[in-house]
């Protein structure tokens, strides 16, 4: 029955700070449920909160929620559980509980990658490639499953069968955006999706700034790929700084609104990131992986060298190598099949295995 009592306490409409103060009395939700008014006041709980607790001891709603969890295959972890993410327990205003789907055994190192929903092709490419490269080193990627940068950060980890975490701003019955339901299903195959919201909660705009404290709180550091000055990503940065997390930023076009937040962060002392190697260095990880032993002919090697110069489109590659169209298409297809390159937004090709 501990799950039911934990859910009951989680759902009480009491300020999270007060809930944590109650739990700091070394009392379980079940014990709180079984106390009378005088007991609660004697423990040091204020009279208004004690009266509210006494008037809200109905478990019927909880029983219905547990049935829904069983039916839809999502679970709940309480802040005192061993499996509750340890990094979150240390932050101010930690969620009292989290609903989740997938693997809650998180990697030791986690990087949040956040950025604009209206991302440029440049930003999407950077988010994807950095995520994929870090996944080779068992660094988990945390993001918010929004359009743009978030989506590509998740995809980069997924394409290398890495671990990625999505933190939602709504309940599991209202996945947002809807087109990312397929993405969520891919994430939970190896990673995890968290939300602190009850299943029927809709993606209200005020939920997203609140959930951003969880994105940063789960992570060792936060990488901002593209962000406006007053964007949600900058809210995540503020939480990260309050929580003692490192903040990194990718420099961008000074004339684009999506780059103003990142460039401002770099001016103010955020670590400038222009490759995954910068993050590996910050995390104290050296390139100890074996190189991929894949045979390449001279044409394929030439193509890879050109792409390494700057994530080129088909026309740009053709202009440099001067191969016939059909021949070049064939070689690019072979390299994609070998898992060495990938074609991204705008037709740009990127190296995903070195």
Per-residue confidence in pLDDT tens, the chain, 354 aa: 699 999 999 999 999 999 999 999 999 999 999 999 999 999 999 999 999 999 999 899 999 999 999 999 999 999 999 999 999 999 999 999 999 999 999 999 999 999 999 999 999 999 998 999 899 899 999 999 999 999 999 999 998 889 999 999 999 999 999 999 999 999 999 999 999 999 999 999 999 999 999 999 999 999 999 999 999 999 999 999 999 999 999 999 899 999 999 999 999 999 999 989 999 999 998 654 434 456 788 999 999 988 887 778 899 999 999 899 989 988 887 888 677 888 876 678 888 765
Same domain, 173 and 276: yes
Domain count, the chain: 3
Reduced to 3 states (helix: H, G, I; strand: E, B; else coil), residue 182 is helix
Same domain, 163 and 114: yes
Same domain, 274 and 183: yes
Strand 75-78 vs strand 110-114: parallel, antiparallel, or unpaired?
unpaired
Same domain, 120 and 194: yes
- pLDDT on residue 242: 97
Return d(Cα 275, Cα 270) in angstroms, integer.
Answer: 15
- pLDDT on residue 290: 39
290 lies in a domain? no
91 lies in a domain? no
- pLDDT on residue 249: 97
Reduced to 3 states (helix: H, G, I; strand: E, B; else coil), residue 323 is coil
CATH code at 180? 3.40.50.450
Residue 10: exposure state from Cβ atoms within 10 A (0-12, 13-18, ≥19): buried
Instruction: From 251, 282, 313, give the residue that closes a domain.
Output: 282
Reduced to 3 states (helix: H, G, I; strand: E, B; else coil), residue 184 is helix
96 lies in a domain? no
Same domain, 220 and 328: no
| Residue 252: domain span | 110-282
Same domain, 139 and 270: yes
Q: What is the 3-state secondary structure (H, E, C) of 236-274?
A: HHHHHHHCCCEEEECCCCCCCHHHHHHHHHHHCCCEECC
136 lies in a domain? yes
Same domain, 274 and 146: yes
8 Å CB contact between 327 and 315: no
Nearest to residue 172, comparing CAs of 148, 202, 142? Answer: 202
Q: What is the pTM of this model?
A: 0.83
Q: Which two tokens stand for residue 48?
A: 């208004």
- CA terminus-to-terminus distance, the chain: 52
Same domain, 41 and 149: no
Strand 221-224 vs strand 192-195: parallel, antiparallel, or unpaired?
unpaired
223 lies in a domain? yes
């Amino acid at each position: 029955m501990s799950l039911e009592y934990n859910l009951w306490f989680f759902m009480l409409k009491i300020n999270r700070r007060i809930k944590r103060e109650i739990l700091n009395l070394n009392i379980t939700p079940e014990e709180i449920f079984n106390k009378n008014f005088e007991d609660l006041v004697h423990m040091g709980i204020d009279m208004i909160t004690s009266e509210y607790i006494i008037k809200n001891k109905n478990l019927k709603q909880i029983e219905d929620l547990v049935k829904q969890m069983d039916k839809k295959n999502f679970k709940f972890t309480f802040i005192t559980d061993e499996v509750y993410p340890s990094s979150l327990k240390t932050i101010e205003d930690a969620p009292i509980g989290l609903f989740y789907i997938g693997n809650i055994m998180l990697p030791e190192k986690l990087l949040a990658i956040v950025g604009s929903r209206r991302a440029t092709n440049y930003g999407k490419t950077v988010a994807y490639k950095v995520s994929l490269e870090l996944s080779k080193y068992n660094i988990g990627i945390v993001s918010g499953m929004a359009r743009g940068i978030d989506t590509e950060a998740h995809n980069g980890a997924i394409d290398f069968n890495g671990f990625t975490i999505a933190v939602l701003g709504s309940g599991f019955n209202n996945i947002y955006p809807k087109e990312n339901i397929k993405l969520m299903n891919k994430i939970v195959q190896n990673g995890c999706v968290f939300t602190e919201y009850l299943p029927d909660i809709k993606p209200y705009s005020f939920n997203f700034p609140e959930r951003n404290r969880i994105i940063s709180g789960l992570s060792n550091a936060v990488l901002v790929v593209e962000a406006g000055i007053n964007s949600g990503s900058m809210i995540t940065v503020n939480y990260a700084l309050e929580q003692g997390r490192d903040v990194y930023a990718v420099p961008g076009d000074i004339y684009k609104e999506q780059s103003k937040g990142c460039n401002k962060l770099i001016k103010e002392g955020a670590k400038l990131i222009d490759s995954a190697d910068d993050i590996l260095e910050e995390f104290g990880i050296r390139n100890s992986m074996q190189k991929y032993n894949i045979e390449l002919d001279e044409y394929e090697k030439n193509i890879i060298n050109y792409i390494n110069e700057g994530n080129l489109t088909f026309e740009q590659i053709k202009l440099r190598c001067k191969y016939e169209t059909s021949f070049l298409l064939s070689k690019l297809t072979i390299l994609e099949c070998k898992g060495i390159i990938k074609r991204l937004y705008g037709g740009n090709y990127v190296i995903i295995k070195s």
